[in-house]
Structure 1
Amino acid sequence: MRRTILGRTTGIALASMLLALSACSGGEQPSMPPPEVEVVTIKPQAIDNVIELPGRVQAIRTAEVRARVNGIVERRLFEEGTDVRAGQPLFQIDPRELRASLNASLATLARNQATAANAQQDVDRYKGLIADQAISKQEYDAAVARQRTAQADVALAKAQVESARLNLGYATVTAPISGRAGRAQVTEGALVSASGGTLFTTIEQLSPIYVNFSQSSSDLIAIRRDAQAGRLDIPYDANRVEVDLVLEDGSPYGLAGHIDFLDMSIDESTGTAALRAEFPNPGRVLLPGQFVRARIKAGVRPDGILVPQTAVKVAEQGASVMVVGDKDMVAVREVKLGDLRGSQWVIREGLKPGDRVIVNGLQKVKPGIPVRIAGAPKAAAKPAAPAN
């Protein structure tokens, strides 16, 4: 009985001691302060409206050098892959058969001219005889007809001579334009055909040079809508819209071009409108068939929004940013991105002036928690409960 009373007395004493220690510990534990973040406040500004589209480079002029007469190629007169000038000889076709044809035409012309001269003499002589009624009118008319036939034969022979002379000239194949000559498609000894249009080589002019690309009809409608609503200022001279290029390796092409063609119809199969830009190409950095990205400066957005790249999270579902809302609570805001300007994204939709976007400290926050903005005055610390 005594042991039971002692046990109860010891338990009561131990409980009293724990309560005393708890009272001396200062009451409830202080809460953790909100994480600190850095923000930027959205302010609209005038920015260029840049549209980025894929494109292909095309030579400004391309000429296919083809055979205009039949014959055997004797030799090539140029170096493949070098610049040639208009009129420069490129190939030589065996001219002997063509020269013989020209000589035959010249002989025919000489014979017809002699016949025509004799017919003219007959007409001149018959004029006096018919006046004296020494010959009949029928004989005179026959002489005039022979004269006219002879003159027609002379004209025909002259045309044949001209044709034969042209064909002989075509035996020396020349460059129709100045530019860079490609690989030769025929070798010495090859038989070429005028009717088949045998290809000798191709010449391309590379400076200036074209870039072809296309824009969807929905984008064109959006541009017109924004321009009518005042959200986009389009320059008056729409024919001089400036275009920049980004090469395949991501480096910028240093020289700007301009739009020189816009198709006013939409391709039914692709739903796009064809555009073409012209660029200077003095160093021949741009080559036909090369893939590039065209950045078209289609006006200016007076109320554009830029956000640092570090503030934007890009995922498969889209892009988003963290904003500080009412009572300094964090919220997720989905945004529609434009192009990247250096270290800043252009925001098309999702943000408005005055929004506070978190740019530093994102790893410490999540939606629905309060934060403290760096540089803002700190709130007074909550006093601890007095000890009992």
Structure 2
Amino acid sequence: MAAVLALASCNQKNDTSKQQAAAGAAKPEVSAITLHPQSVAITAELPGRTSAYLIAEVRPQVGGIITKRNFKEGSEVKQGEILYEIDPATYQASYDSAAADLQKAKGAVPSAQAKLDRYKGLSAQAAVSQQDFDDAQSTLVQAQASVAAAQAALDTARINLEYTKIRAPIDGRVDASAVTVGALVTANQTTALTTIRKLDPMNVDVTQSSTNLLKFRKAVAEGRLKMSGENVSVHLTLEDGSTYNQTGKLEFLSAAVAETVGTVTVRAVFPNPDRVLLPGMYVRATIEEGVAENSFLVPQRAVTRNTKGEPTAMFVQPDGKVQLRVLSVQRSVGNSWLVGEGVKDGDRVIVEGSQRVRDGQDVTVSSVTIDDATGELKQAAADAPKEQQKQSMNDTPDKAITTASAK
């Protein structure tokens, strides 16, 4: 009986040792990245539309018949270039008449001046009455006033004659013409003859939530963000998803909030030398608002939410055990979350395999890195041989799960 009991005890110990060995060998494998503090550029991606930098509607300032159109519709024109010509015959006649009136007025001045000079000498000798002297002085003043009035009339006639040549007020691209040669136009009519738009540079008007604006200013006031400078850079994403190859500058922020939607307008100015941007295009502008120093970026693939809706992530402790933490997520930055609390320098966050582990469980960790642009995992240099060894083990189900997750 004693021998049987001893044998049973040995078998039980052997079974326990085998179970412990099996449990040690069955540690789930996870991939983790090491977090370090860094300076993070805080950006805001806002919807907006492009608009011309300058817009000028061309209207006649005198009436008449259009005799010439000197531009090609849709072409680029320069400031001062003659676009239309109005029949100048009547305005030339008015100019010539005003010039003649000026000459006539100037002719009366020397006679009045000479008469006044004579009366001035005779008045000193009491040879003429004071009344005659005053009349001569008044005649000279009237003659000089007539010259000034005639000069003003001549200037007006010259201006009207110049207005018969309708010039481009700004540089830009001209639209289609609303009139043809032979059309009758009137001064300051409501219908524009054509419109010129300056397309280089180009305005981009975007809308920013007033709530987000207040949060940003509060973060700057508390020192959590630093302004990136007076010249804030802006980048554009076009309608087809491509990135515009020019960098813009922030021009101004609207001084009022739209009451109906609670937004403010932000205007940026972009160079447009190749005329890629046209007025009315829908774009998305990425504005560099500031820099958050000593911040942590946790990959979005590592963050989940608990039953309370709080963001959580799995971390690997120095002893190899898993720890579940609640994070303070502030905003998304690319493929990561900007985390304010719950992370310290050197922490290892699980980015792959967190579904197979639980809080407090021992795990086997392989270090990886993440491509910031695509969010894909890359094996760390120190674990490259181990990864190559794992690739030869295609018969394990965990390998299939890991590969699918990485893709």
- Aligned-partner Cα distance in 1 for 2:303–2:178: 54
Whether 2:37 is the aligned partner of 1:47: answer: no
Listed one character per residue, the Cα deviations across residues 138-185 of structure 1 (whole Å, up to 9, x for unaligned) are: 122122212211211111011000110011011111112222222223
2:256 is the counterpart of 1:266? yes
- The residue that corresponds to 1:345 in the other structure is 336
Superposed CA offset, 1:111-156 (max 9, x none): 2222333333432343344445443221221222122112111110
Other-structure match for 1:4:
none
CA distance in 2, matches of 1:135, 1:375: 122
Structure 1, unmatched stretches of 5+, are 1-25, 377-388
Query: What's the CA shift for 1:204?
Result: 2.4
- Check conservation: 1:130, 1:137, Cα contact below 8 A: yes
Matched, 1:91 2:74: no
Following the alignment from structure 2 to structure 1, what is the Cα–Cα distance between the partners of residues 30 and 217? 40
- Contact 1:112-1:150 at 8 Å conserved across structures: yes
Match of 2:195 among 191, 202, 207: 202
- Give yes or no for contact 1:324–1:331 (8 Å, CA) kept in 2: yes
Match of 2:395 in 1: none
Structure 1 counterpart of 2:277, from 268, 274, 286: 286
Which structure 2 residues correspond to residues 8-23 of structure 1 after superposition, within 5 A? none
Question: Which structure has the higher relative contact order (CA within 8 Å, separation 6+)?
Answer: 1
Give the SS at the match of 2:180. Answer: coil
For residue 162 of structure 2, what is the amino acid of its counterpart? G
RMSD of the alignment, in Å? 3.6
Q: Distance in 1 between matches of 2:69 and 2:291?
A: 55
CA distance in 2, matches of 1:367, 1:309: 19
Taking the TM superposition and a 5 Å limit, the aligned residue runs for 1:144-159 are 144-159=137-152
Alpha-carbon displacement from aligned partner over 1:203-262 (angstroms, at most 9, x marks no partner): 222222332224333323322332343322324xx3212222211222111222222323
Give, in whole Å, the separation in 1 of the partners of 2:339 and 2:74: 47
CA distance in 2, matches of 1:100, 1:310: 82
Paired with 2:276 and 2:263, the residues of 1 have a C-alpha distance of 28
8 Å contact from structure 1 (residues 311, 360) kept in 2:
yes
How far residue 361 of structure 1 moved from its aligned partner, in angstroms, is 4.2
Please tell me whether residue 246 in structure 1 is matched to residue 237 in structure 2.
yes
Bigger radius of gyration among the two: 1
Structure 1 vs Structure 2: percent identity of aligned residues? 40
Decide whether the 8 Å contact of 1:336 with 1:349 is kept in 2.
Answer: yes
Match for residue 359 of structure 1?
351
The answer to which of 95-104 and 285-294 deviates more is 285-294
Query: Residue 216 of structure 1 aligns with which residue?
Result: 209
Opposite residue 314 of structure 2, the aligned amino acid is V
TM-score, scaled to structure 2: 0.71
**Unmatched 5+ stretches in structure 2:** 1-14, 368-407
Q: 1:196 deviation in Å? A: 3.0
Matched residues, number = 341
| Amino acid of the structure 1 residue aligned with 2:116 | V
Which deviates further from its counterpart, 122-131 or 323-332?
323-332
TM-score by length of 1: 0.74
1:123 & 1:161 partners in 2: Cα distance?
28
